[in-house]
Amino acid sequence: MPRTMEEILDHHNRAVLSNDYAEMIADYADDAVLITLKGTYVGKEAIGRALQQLAQAMPNMRGVESPTNAMIVEGDTLLLRWSAESDTGTITDAVDTIVLKGDKIWRQTTSFEIVPK
């Protein structure tokens, strides 16, 4: 049985927050695309590099409960507003869109700014 959007997001968040590269990449389809304001990353290897850059820029990242956090799921598509902080920076108003293909992330956009502490 395929995973639900909520299950995929929960797994992905746990992998990102624990800096588990293998589990992060496992959530993506082989032909996945990640679009950011810094560029487009095609395929698991390229997306993995982008995720590693985020982990380096936000060491010991942890999610922050915020009244502005929100999630809307419509079928295979998710819109997510999120916040995070780390030892060196804070993200206060990030937005991601995720589109699934089966039970894998197929397309993702993300927009965030890291504010140094």
Find where tokens 């746990």 sit: 14
Q: Give first-to-last CA distance, the chain, whole Å.
A: 43
**Mean pLDDT on 86-91:** 96
Residue in 17, 18, 2 with CA at minimum distance from that of residue 82: 17
Looking at residue 64, its pLDDT comes to 82
pTM as predicted: 0.91
> CA–CA distance from 105 to each of 50, 65, 74, 100 (Å)?
15, 24, 15, 5
**Mean pLDDT on 22-36:** 96
At the top level of CATH, which class does the domain 5-116 belong to?
Answer: alpha beta
Q: Quick one: CA dihedral 13, 17, 18, 20, positive or negative?
A: positive
